[in-house]
Amino acid sequence: MKVSHYYGKTPSSKANAVKISSNGIDIYYSYETIIAINVKGKLTIAKNKRGTTTGKHLNAITQNKSIRVEHSEILKIIKNLKITLD
């Protein structure tokens, strides 16, 4: 498992935009909320329902707003992949 930061230049902004990668799966967080998942090249990204900073995080992943889905769709993918997030 690899943990990296996908947004920000300062330690505090980097800490709030984390990507966890393992076995061809990338899970993107904004603060403690999963906002996107990339499974072997297929990106699923949430609509922004949270705020300005989350919007910046989403745009750092992709600026293509036409592919954004409800957050529940991301959770379904995680459940179907049997990923545990403890």
pLDDT in tens, 37-77: 999 999 999 999 989 999 999 999 999 999 999 999 999 99
Query: Quick one: pLDDT at residue 86?
Result: 58
CB 18 within 8 A of CB 5: yes
Is the pLDDT reported for residue 84 higher than 70? no
Residue 17 three-state SS:
strand
* Contact present, 12 and 18 (Cβ < 8 Å): no
- Residue ranges of the domains in the chain? 2-80
Q: pLDDT tens digit string along 8-44?
A: 888 888 889 999 999 999 999 999 999 999 999 999 9
